[in-house]
Each structure stands twice: as structure tokens, then as C-alpha cells.
């Protein structure tokens, strides 16, 4: 058969040598070849477009290496444009819905740090790449390399400063993110306010929206959660959780215990200490008082027992004790602020009428209730009590009675106390605050304050230090 009759055979051509010849056949015939880079590298989409050679779509940009830690000289910045959007975490809810915002007030316990005071790491003259307020201690030797072995959590304020640091806030927000949100809610938002000093805050208010799902964890249970308690010990802070309602910002009645709250002492212990015969009477009465305040003894029975030991004291002893009473720091300023705000005040004391009435008059308190002792014709205490003892149940009844007479809803009532005999009163009020309280009271109360000045109570209403200064001036 002639060659003309044979069908034509298709043969692939061999690769030809050219100026683009490479040392690899596979590299020359692969579907994608890396772009040829010009001497001045350019960045953008043109880096992945083939055969553009010297064409340029975007101008070259100079990029400095980023080591993951922003600094004062090289802060994070937007290189190309920005995306703006409106969010409404602090706005009124849409019509037909209700807001569900939780407010967490973090107060640093500056008067009772577990470690020596450490200032915030601001590095005023440091060349560190780490921005101010974002670093732990400048001494790397003091940074823990191993987790603590003891059950007590590692105190972190000695690393990040004796204040509420950004890392403290971040840690709290991370903790709260572990609790499930209400059904149908995809994400939560948060905002913060430094209520005293933005650079070195000791009081920070965080607003979280929405609050954790109440079907999973009620607010009462959330306040007592082990993670919250552990966080407080780690960062040496008090955490007060409240619903962000109108009543939180506008209380109308504040009720106080007297002993170890408005004053730093226990009056009955002062009375017993004035008796020198027998010499151990003062210590005996103080021991009974301590056990009753810790909830180990029934208050009414313990009170009658202690009053019986005071038999024979002259009634003038109450007047003699007036100069001895040590008013808790911040009490006069707090009561002045409450009066300017139009808030009614009351003292419900498990002590005695002569001293409680006198102190209420001195401080300008509107209502005062206490126990009345029996005095014989010779002007001495008989060791008996007249009428009902102002204990757990009676304090609760008096709080309800005062609120009703003043026309005040319980949501706008705040109660402050320290002992087990205050628990019913604290639980009945819209907000019950345990002030430097006994352990049992700390665990059961709605809020805990362990500071030095009772003025801190005003921060729980959302007031700033500027507003507090204005009210207490």
C-alpha cells in the first residue's frame, strides 16, 4: 500500500529549546507555572496572574514584619479600607421585645490584697514592645512557669497589677462565654465602663447582652457559681451580678445592720468589756457573739444569754460608750449621698435602742429599730429584754413594714449586713449586700463587698466616681 493511502499519524512535537528553556521537562509543561517576579515585588491579585510580566495592577506597598505583639511604635492598623456597621448592644430593644442585659460590677479589693501592692505595668520609660496595661510583670522571673499545686488558685493581680487590668476583664468575659445563651441567640455582646479611672481602674462595670440562659442557670445560682467564686479569688475582686433594670439604678430605701456594718464593733461586746468581775466575762460574751454571727447559735437565745450576763450594769453605760463607737469609713458620705438622691434609710439593729437611736440621729437615718433592755428603779440593767428581739425574722418583718409604709416596691430596696441574723433581710430586699461579712453570709447573699469604705455601695447603682464625689461633697 502506498504511503499516500495510509492514514496520517498525529505525532506530538518534541519540546523546543527556547529562551524559556528550563532544566525540567515537567516544570516546562505543567498546567500552572509560578509567576515571574520582577525585581520590585508587588503584592495583590497580580502576583497570581500568569504572564503579566512587568504589568502592574496595584502600586507596590511596603509591609513591615509583624511579630504578633503590637507596640507603641508599630500599633495594629488597617491597611486597606474599613468596614463600618451599626450595632445596638446598648440601645433600647426593638418594639415588642424586652432587653435582657446582665450587669457585672468588678471591684478590686485594694485594702486586702493577698500579695503586696503591685502598680499597673505602664512602662513609662521602657523600650518594651508590649503596650501599656497589656503585659504581666516586667520581671519575667516572677511569672509562674508551672500551675499552682495548692487548691487555692494562683493570685494573678501580683502579675498584672493591683487593679482591674485588661487581662482581668478578658478573663471574666471568657468565663461568662462558657455559659449557654438563650435559645435562638447566636452571639452575645459586651461593653464596659471604668467607673473611677480609665488608666488604672479599681471599679469596672460590664454589660453583657443577653444574660446566660435562665433555663440553664438562674441569676441566684450564677451568683454562687464556683467559677465566679474562683475568679474572685484569682483576681482579688468582688463580682456583683445584677439584672440591668430601672430599679437597679434608682433605689428608694437602703436598710443597714448596725454592729460591724455602720460601726466596726459589736456593742454588746463593748458592754461586756466594761465589766471587770469576773475578768473573763468580756471574752465569754465575745465568743457567744461570734458564734451567733456565724450562724452556729440561734440568735435570739444567744442574745438573751448575753444580756443576762450584763445584769447590774448602770444604764448610763450607753452614754459612756457613745464616744467609743467607731463609725465605718464612708458611712457619713454614703448617707449624705443617699439623702441627696431622695433615698430613705433605716437601721435595724440586734443591739440596743439607746445607742442605735442616738447613732441614727447623728447620721440622719430616717428609721431606727433595736432591742430595749429592762432597767430597774435603781437605774441598772436587770438582764432582761423587753418585747420581741430584733433577730432574723424581726428584721425581715421591719424591712417589709417600712417599705410598705413608705410605698416602696421591694425591687427598689437595698439591704446591707454582715451576720447570719441578717440573711432573711438580705434575701427579702431587691439587692442584699454582704459587707465584710461572715463566710456563710458571703456565700448566700446576692452581692459581696469586702472593701474599706461603704461608699463603694454607690457603684452598684451605676454611679461613677465623678458623680459620687458630687453627691458626697
Residues labelled as active-site residues:
257, 259
Q: Which residues, at least 6 apart from 342, have a Cβ–Cβ distance to it below 8 Å?
A: 252
Give the DSSP letter string of 64-94.
----S---SSS----SS--------TTSPPP
CB neighbour burial string for 225-254, b if at least 16 within 10 angstroms, e if fewer:
eeebbebbebbbbbbbbbebeebbeebbbb
Quote the CA–CA distance of 401 and 395 in Å, as a whole number: 10
Query: Phi/psi at 382 (nearest 5 deg)?
Result: -90, -10
Paired residues of 447 in beta bridges: 433
Peptide bond between residue 337 and the one before it cis (omega within 30 degrees of 0): no
What cell was used for 173? 468575659
CB within 8 Å of 201: residues ≥ 6 apart: 108, 163, 164, 194, 195
CB contact at 8 A, 319 and 325: no
- β-pairing, 237-243 vs 447-449, is unpaired
Cell numbers placing 90: 446598648
Is residue 472 classed exposed, middle or buried when 0-12, 13-18 and 19+ CB atoms within 10 A define those classes? Answer: middle
| Residue written as grid cell 433605716 | 346
Q: What is the 3-state secondary structure (H, E, C) of 258-309?
A: CECCCECCCHHHHHHHCCCCCCCHHHHHHHHHHHHHCCCCCHHHHHHHHHHC
Q: What angle do CA 446, 171, 427 make, to 5 degrees?
A: 5
Give the strands of the sheet with 344-352, arranged side by side: 381-386, 367-375, 344-352, 253-256, 413-417, 431-435, 447-449
CB contact set of 101 (below 8 Å; sequence gap of 6+) = 207, 208, 209, 210, 211, 243, 244
Amino acid at each position: 500500500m502506498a504511503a499516500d493511502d495510509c492514514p496520517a499519524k498525529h505525532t506530538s512535537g518534541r519540546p523546543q529549546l527556547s529562551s524559556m528553556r528550563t532544566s525540567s521537562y515537567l516544570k516546562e509543561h505543567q498546567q500552572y507555572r509560578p509567576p515571574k517576579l520582577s525585581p520590585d515585588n508587588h503584592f495583590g491579585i497580580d502576583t497570581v496572574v500568569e504572564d503579566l510580566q512587568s504589568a502592574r495592577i496595584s502600586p507596590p506597598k511596603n509591609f513591615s514584619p509583624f511579630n504578633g505583639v503590637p507596640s507603641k511604635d508599630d500599633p495594629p492598623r488597617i491597611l486597606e479600607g474599613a468596614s463600618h456597621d451599626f450595632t445596638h448592644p446598648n440601645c433600647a430593644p426593638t418594639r415588642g421585645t424586652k432587653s435582657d442585659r446582665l450587669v457585672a460590677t468588678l471591684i478590686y479589693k485594694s485594702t486586702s490584697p493577698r500579695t503586696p501592692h503591685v502598680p499597673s505595668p505602664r512602662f513609662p520609660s521602657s523600650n518594651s514592645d508590649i503596650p501599656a496595661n497589656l503585659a504581666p510583670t516586667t520581671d519575667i522571673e516572677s511569672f509562674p512557669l508551672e500551675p499552682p499545686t495548692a487548691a487555692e488558685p494562683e493570685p494573678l493581680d501580683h502579675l498584672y497589677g493591683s487593679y482591674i487590668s485588661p487581662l482581668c476583664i478578658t478573663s471574666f468575659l471568657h468565663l461568662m462565654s462558657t455559659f449557654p445563651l438563650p435559645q435562638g441567640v447566636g452571639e452575645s455582646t459586651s461593653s464596659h465602663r471604668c467607673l473611677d479611672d480609665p488608666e488604672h481602674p479599681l471599679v469596672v462595670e460590664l454589660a453583657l447582652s443577653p444574660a446566660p440562659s435562665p433555663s440553664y442557670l438562674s441569676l441566684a445560682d450564677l451568683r454562687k457559681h464556683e467559677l465566679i467564686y474562683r475568679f474572685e479569688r484569682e483576681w482579688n475582686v468582688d463580682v456583683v451580678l445584677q439584672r440591668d433594670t430601672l430599679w437597679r439604678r434608682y433605689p428608694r430605701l437602703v436598710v443597714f445592720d448596725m454592729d460591724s456594718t455602720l460601726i466596726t464593733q459589736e456593742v454588746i461586746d463593748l458592754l461586756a468589756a466594761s465589766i471587770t468581775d469576773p475578768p473573763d466575762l468580756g471574752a465569754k460574751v465575745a465568743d457567744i457573739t461570734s458564734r451567733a454571727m456565724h450562724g452556729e447559735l440561734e440568735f435570739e437565745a444567744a442574745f438573751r444569754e448575753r444580756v443576762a450576763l450584763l445584769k447590774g450594769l448602770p444604764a448610763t453605760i450607753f452614754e459612756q460608750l457613745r464616744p467609743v463607737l467607731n463609725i465605718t469609713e464612708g458611712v457619713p458620705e454614703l448617707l449624705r449621698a443617699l439623702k441627696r438622691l431622695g433615698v430613705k434609710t433605716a437601721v435595724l439593729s440586734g443591739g440596743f435602742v439607746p445607742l442605735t437611736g442616738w447613732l441614727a440621729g447623728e447620721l440622719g437615718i430616717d428609721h431606727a429599730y433595736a432591742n430595749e433592755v429592762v432597767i430597774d428603779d435603781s437605774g441598772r440593767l436587770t438582764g432582761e429584754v423587753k418585747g420581741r428581739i430584733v433577730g432574723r425574722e424581726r428584721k425581715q418583718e421591719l424591712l417589709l413594714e417600712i417599705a410598705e409604709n413608705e410605698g416602696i416596691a421591694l425591687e427598689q430596696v437595698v439591704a446591707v449586713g454582715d451576720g447570719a441574723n441578717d440573711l432573711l433581710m438580705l434575701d427579702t430586699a431587691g439587692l442584699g449586700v454582704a459587707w465584710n461579712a461572715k463566710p456563710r453570709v458571703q456565700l448566700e447573699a446576692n452581692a459581696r463587698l469586702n472593701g474599706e469604705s461603704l461608699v463603694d455601695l454607690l457603684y452598684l447603682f451605676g454611679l461613677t466616681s465623678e458623680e459620687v464625689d458630687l453627691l458626697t461633697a
